[in-house]
C-alpha cells in the first residue's frame, strides 16, 4: 500500500523553527504527501515554500485542548485564511464533550462552519477519541456528521492515547459516507498506518512520515 498520498506531514511542537517548516515542506513535495500541518504562525511561510506543488497547507485551531472561546477560534480561522491556509484542523471543545454539553458544541460549529465554507476551505474536527467513551464518540459522529464537515479526526497527539483502529472503525460505522476520517496521534510505523487506512482512515497525521513511507521500524522520537 502506497501511503504518501494519505499523509499530512506534521510539525506542531512549540519550539518549531522556520528551518523545520522548510524541511517538512521540502519532504512533502519530494514524497507527494497530501499536506503539511504547521502551527498557525507558519502558514504563510509554508505556502511560500510550497509554491508550484500540489501539497496543501493545513493548520490547527484551538490547539491542543479546544477550550478557547468560539470567538477566539473564529479569529484564528480568519487569520489562517488570510495567510492562505487550505485546510483547518479545529479542536472541538473537549471539556464540553466530556460534560455532554452538545448545545455548546452545536453552537460552536454553527459559528465556525459558515466562515470556513464561505472560502471553500477543508475542515477537520478533532475530538480526542482516545479519552472519550464509545457513546461519546458516537454522539460526536452524529453531531458533526450532519454538519457538512470534511473530516472527523481522532486526536491532537497531546492526550494520553492517540489514534486506534477501533476508533477509526467506530467513526466509519457512525459517520455519513461523505465525511472522511483523519487518524492522528502515535502513528510511527508503516504497519500501524496501513491498519488505520484499512479500517477507514483517508488521512493520517504524522510526524514520522518518512519512517512510515520508507517502511522503517518504529520512530521512537516522533511526537505527534
Active-site option among 73, 89, 124, 139 = 89
Half-sphere exposure of 140 (CA within 13 A, CB side): 31
CA distance readout (Å), 111 to 31, 36, 68, 74, 184: 36, 26, 14, 8, 25
Residue 138 sits in which domain range?
Answer: 4-213
pLDDT at residue 152, rounded to an integer:
98
Q: Confirm whether 221 is domain-assigned.
A: no
The string of pLDDT tens digits covering residues 6-31 is: 999 999 999 999 999 999 999 999 99
34 part of a folded domain: yes
Q: How confident is the model at residue 1 (pLDDT cuts 50, 70, 90)?
A: confident
> Half-sphere exposure of residue 183, counting CA atoms within 13 Å on the CB side?
28
Domains identified in the chain, total number: 1
- Provide mean pLDDT across the span 39-49: 98
Cell numbers given for 73: 477560534
pLDDT in tens, 196-211: 999 999 999 999 999 9
Domain CATH for 41: 3.20.20.70
Q: Is 189 part of the annotated catalytic residue set?
A: no
CB 40 within 8 A of CB 57: no
Residue 37 lies in a domain: yes
218 occurs within a structural domain: no
Stated length of the chain: 224
- Whether 92 maps to a domain, the answer reads yes
Overall pTM surpassing 0.85 (yes/no): yes
> What's residue 220's pLDDT?
45
CA dihedral 69, 152, 192, 94 (to 10 degrees): 30
The three grid cell numbers given for residue 185, joined into one nine-digit string: 496521534
Mean pLDDT score of the chain: 95
CB atoms near residue 4 (< 10 Å): 17
Q: Does residue 219 sit within a domain?
A: no
Q: Express each pLDDT in 95-142 by its tens digit.
A: 999 999 999 999 999 999 999 999 999 999 999 999 999 999 999 999
Q: What value does the mean pLDDT take over residues 35-54?
A: 98
Helix boundaries (H) for 153-215: 165-174, 190-199, 209-213
Is 124 a catalytic site residue? no
Average pLDDT (77-89) is 98
Q: How far apart are the first and last CA of the chain?
A: 22
Active site residue 121: no
User: What value does the mean pLDDT take over residues 157-185?
Assistant: 96
Instruction: For residue 54, name the pLDDT band (cuts at 50, 70, 90).
Output: very high
Amino acid at each position: 500500500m502506497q501511503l504518501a498520498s494519505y499523509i499530512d506531514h506534521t510539525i506542531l511542537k512549540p519550539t518549531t523553527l522556520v528551518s523545520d517548516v522548510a524541511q517538512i515542506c521540502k519532504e512533502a513535495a519530494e514524497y507527494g504527501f497530501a499536506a503539511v500541518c504547521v502551527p498557525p504562525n507558519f502558514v504563510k511561510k509554508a505556502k511560500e515554500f510550497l509554491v508550484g506543488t500540489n501539497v496543501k497547507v493545513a493548520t490547527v485551531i484551538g490547539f491542543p485542548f479546544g477550550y478557547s472561546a468560539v470567538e477566539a477560534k473564529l479569529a484564528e480561522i480568519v487569520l489562517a485564511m488570510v495567510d492562505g491556509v487550505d485546510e483547518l484542523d479545529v479542536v472541538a471543545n473537549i471539556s464540553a464533550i466530556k460534560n455532554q454539553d452538545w448545545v455548546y458544541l452545536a453552537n460552536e460549529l454553527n459559528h465556525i462552519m459558515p466562515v470556513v465554507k464561505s472560502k471553500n476551505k477543508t475542515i477537520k474536527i478533532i475530538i480526542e477519541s482516545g479519552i472519550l467513551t464509545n457513546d461519546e464518540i458516537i454522539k460526536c459522529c452524529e453531531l458533526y456528521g450532519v454538519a457538512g464537515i470534511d473530516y472527523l479526526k481522532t486526536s491532537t497527539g497531546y492526550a494520553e492515547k492517540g489514534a486506534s483502529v477501533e476508533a477509526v472503525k467506530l467513526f466509519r460505522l457512525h459517520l455519513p459516507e461523505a465525511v472522511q476520517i483523519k487518524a492522528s496521534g502515535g502513528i510511527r510505523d508503516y504497519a500501524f498506518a496501513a491498519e488505520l487506512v484499512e479500517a477507514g482512515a483517508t488521512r493520517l497525521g504524522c510526524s514520522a512520515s518518512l519512517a512510515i513511507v520508507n517502511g522503517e521500524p518504529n520512530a521512537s522520537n516522533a511526537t505527534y
